[in-house]
Structure 1
Amino acid sequence: MAIQTNNSQDISWVLAQIEHIAQFGQNASGITRLAFTDDDLQARKYIIELMQSAGLAVITDAIGNIIGRYEPEGINPEAATVMTGSHLDTVPSGGKYDGVLGIVCGLAAVSRLKTRDELKHPLEVVVFAAEESSRFSFATIGSKAMAGLTNPAVLKRIKDHEEISLASELEKIGLKIDNALNAARPANSIKGFVELHIEHGELLDEKSINIGIVDRVSAPTRLKITVTGMPGHSGAISIAERQDALVSASLIVLAIRNIAAEYEYKGAIGTVTILKTRPGAINVIPGKVEMWVDIRGTEHESIVEMLQEIKDAVSSIADDNDTAVAIEVLASEKPVSLSQNLNQIIETVCSKLRLSSLRLDSRAGHDAMNIAYVAPAGLIFVPCKDGVSHNENEYINPKDIEAGLDVLTETLYQLAK
């Protein structure tokens, strides 16, 4: 028999909230709501108000995660919590659904579940702080702290490209970086975590599948590569005599692209995402280039092999062009397998809702991969039109949002009853 969904929760409320939150950071090329900027703080304030109006008890933990909690009447307050949520921050010129979908649908799901009497566990909706690496070059900061995966010394060193520290941004909201470890949740305090998210890819849309159920989440290895040559007059110095840092950097970009193409079938991929040249004058040969590299993969061995090939290629290019190259590893994380028991629950829910589902891996990182270290974690994908994400043209059909909300609600119910 098919599960009967609660039609009293109008999907139009979810769509209206997504549109409203999109105004925080809206610009001509999409939405730019970087972590702890004024736009992000306005969005956080609005979500807190939504949580409070929904009857949730709201706190902000030591790293800046916002937690809205509902305790059904008569339950054991010490019972492990059932948790859902995602993130509010965006990439530059991003879309309106990435992250926000999981928060708004999480609130809608909890509102639905408040009408049911069988709940034996508290429910929490979490807004994870600084999920995107766009500002601080470190991803999923909030969920790492909640999972106890943070290093205080590293947190204190984190700065954005304008040299503004994470510590100073936390101070703006009354938090001290020295207390960040207090965000870690006690062992066995979370019964299960389920995140609803858009698919960063085209598989579900191409195959007309309602729901993606993620088995493995790739983790980032991130590099900063600095190429140092010799600046000089662009008209006076002959080609043969130059130590052009940008020429070497360009060859490195192509090498990384070609290596990534070779490893893609093994579940790994790499991208040069940022280039900065110095001194940056039109009549001066570039003397220094800084570049940032993002490597992803669902097979740790492939990531290691790919990284070694990149290092070998960089060394060869540096020698051939008489330029010095330094490689700094900014992050190195291992791919994470999510809970198979929880995935089976999600699959069963999809079947009872008469929704098609597909097991798949995620090449993009998500907060669920960190919570998986301390609790059973699941990640539900809904299709994005044409697979477009991290882009102003990001779009989800309302019917797919409704399907995702229904699956999230029933999965949380199975965990909480």
Structure 2
Amino acid sequence: MAIQANHSHTIEWVLAQLEHIAQFGQDKSGVTRLAFSKADHQARQYIIELMQDIGLVVHVDAIGNIIGRYEPEGIQAHVPAVVTGSHLDTVPAGGKYDGVLGVICGLAAVKRLKERSDIKHPLEVVVFSAEESSRFNFATMGSKAMAGLANISSWKRIVDQEGISFASELATLGLQIEHIGSAARANNSIKGFVELHIEQGRILEQGRVNIGIVDKVSSPTRLKITVTGMAGHSGGAPIEERQDALVSAAMIVLAVRNIAADYDYQGSVATVTILKTFPGAINVIPGQVEMWVDIRGTEHGSIIEILQEIKDAISTIADDNDTPVAIEVLASEKPMILDYTINKTIEDVCQKLKLTSLRLDSRSGHDAMNMAHIAPAGLIFIPCKEGVSHNGSEYVASEAIAAGLAVLTETIYQLAK
């Protein structure tokens, strides 16, 4: 590929950085770098040093977002910035490209653009804190805070599975949860935001398309469901007399799957992602089950319909099995349409670079959907092998990275010149 040949040293730098950052939290299953964990702190510190090495001024905001900024000479302070970036945190046993690719390619793009003399806007690369919901059950927390969408009252109460609070983890960075509101950026401080990310699906790979241009980003509706039965001896209690919370939970799992299947053609899905039984002994009938459900979609109407059908199914299961069920809505967000003008710019850049492109929707959430609340935002996808992501076997070909970097760089340039 001509792009890779022309900038082979830059691609080698990107690949080397991806491999290096993967060491923070890597084991035989993949990369586990949960938000604000030791591995995340190591990766964050490394990125700060990397930003400083390439001449960026680094600032950490009130939720821990890392912002590396380049200001061309003569730029006045009020000129809005062109921003790119993504995240460093991962799911448990995740991959080495999800999120990190957008950060490293953002830095590589700014390195290239610093050499151009006609940049008229500051350039920023942002590492958003706590993008994954794996630790605290809230997603894209850093970009929500930057967009003024932080739910501080709820965030004050959240803890991880070890009972460690989000507030105390912020404190390890010298930050106070009460001050998160100060991370919000003014609407006129950003000219445009562009994020590069792996697709996490197979549309581009199957179509042999270089670049995906995202029109709409799906949003999560998340539930915590608690099923209450009666614990008892697994050998002594007759089947017909049991109030087995796990049996009801299993029925709910199947109901969620079957309901979601009816809406898949609309781009909506629903998944039971975590299930915990109590008291959790091999010889005790489960007396309580906690389960978490993740509903996603690009059509808000279908999300509402799925949610109502799940509630109806749960009500029936609870009555039939005499196992009361409580439903707590943890998050309910609307899908976000991204900026038409930026997407047209990305499309024009692809044509200029002789790369194929395709308009598509994203079934997964990204920081771009929050940034779109305060600035025009775009999201660029590149293909990943077999669509596998959130998995240790996640892989992206160097040619795809080269194409994504070239499109990201040129798109930022068009916005900043």
SS of corresponding position for 1:188 = helix
How far apart in 2 are the matches of 1:56 and 1:203? Answer: 36
Q: Calculate the aligned-residue CA RMSD, in Å.
A: 1.3
Aligned position for 1:302:
302
**How big is the shift at 1:3?**
9.9
How far apart in 1 are the matches of 2:3 and 2:75? Answer: 25
* Structure-to-structure mapping, 1:121-136, within 5 angstroms: 121-136=121-136
Aligned position for 1:292:
292
> Do 1:342 and 1:376's aligned partners in 2 also have CA atoms closer than 8 Å?
yes
Give the partner amino acid of 2:123: L
Aligned position for 1:29:
29
Give the partner amino acid of 1:160: D
Aligned position for 2:112:
112
Aligned position for 2:71:
71
**How big is the shift at 1:75?**
1.5
Aligned position for 1:265:
265
How far apart in 2 are the matches of 1:412 and 1:5? Answer: 21
Q: TM-score scaled by structure 2?
A: 0.98
Give the partner amino acid of 2:129: A
Aligned position for 1:352:
352
Give the partner amino acid of 2:78: E
**How big is the shift at 1:77?**
2.2
How far apart in 2 are the matches of 1:195 and 1:134? Answer: 21
**How big is the shift at 1:129?**
0.1
Q: TM-score scaled by structure 1?
A: 0.98
How far apart in 2 are the matches of 1:8 and 1:381? Answer: 21
Give the partner amino acid of 1:300: H
> Do 2:3 and 2:403's aligned partners in 1 also have CA atoms closer than 8 Å?
no
* Structure-to-structure mapping, 1:185-264, within 5 angstroms: 185-264=185-264
SS of corresponding position for 1:224 = strand
How far apart in 2 are the matches of 1:63 and 1:96? Answer: 23
> Do 2:3 and 2:402's aligned partners in 1 also have CA atoms closer than 8 Å?
no
> Do 1:3 and 1:352's aligned partners in 2 also have CA atoms closer than 8 Å?
no
Give the partner amino acid of 2:267: G
Give the partner amino acid of 2:257: R
> Do 1:76 and 1:120's aligned partners in 2 also have CA atoms closer than 8 Å?
no
**How big is the shift at 1:152?**
2.0
**How big is the shift at 1:5?**
9.6
Aligned position for 1:343:
343
**How big is the shift at 1:200?**
1.1
Give the partner amino acid of 2:54: A
Q: Deviations over 1:270-303 (max 9, x none)?
A: 0000000000000100000000000000000100
Aligned position for 1:153:
153
Q: Deviations over 1:1-35 (max 9, x none)?
A: x9999637521000000000000000110000000
Q: Deviations over 1:22-49 (max 9, x none)?
A: 0000011000000000000000000000
> Identical aligned pairs, as a percentage?
72
Give the partner amino acid of 1:176: Q
SS of corresponding position for 2:311 = helix
SS of corresponding position for 1:411 = helix
**How big is the shift at 1:159?**
1.4
- The 3 A distance-change label for structure 1 pair 361 and 21 is same
How far apart in 1 are the matches of 2:4 and 2:296? Answer: 39
5+ long unaligned stretches in structure 2: none
- The 3 A distance-change label for structure 1 pair 4 and 168 is closer
Aligned position for 2:14:
14
Give the partner amino acid of 1:30: G
How far apart in 1 are the matches of 2:225 and 2:3? Answer: 53
Aligned position for 2:52:
52
Aligned position for 1:361:
361
How far apart in 1 are the matches of 2:43 and 2:148? Answer: 26
The answer to whether the aligner puts 1:42 opposite 2:42 as a matched pair is yes
SS of corresponding position for 2:79 = coil
Q: Deviations over 1:37-91 (max 9, x none)?
A: 0000000000000000000000100000000000011122210000000000000
- The 3 A distance-change label for structure 1 pair 371 and 104 is same
Aligned length: 416
How far apart in 2 are the matches of 1:257 and 1:135? Answer: 24
5+ long unaligned stretches in structure 1: none
Give the partner amino acid of 2:176: K
How far apart in 2 are the matches of 1:98 and 1:159? Answer: 24
SS of corresponding position for 1:162 = coil
How far apart in 1 are the matches of 2:280 and 2:300? Answer: 37
Runs of 4 or more consecutive aligned structure 1 residues displaced over 2 Å after TM superposition: 2-10
How far apart in 2 are the matches of 1:152 and 1:339? Answer: 28
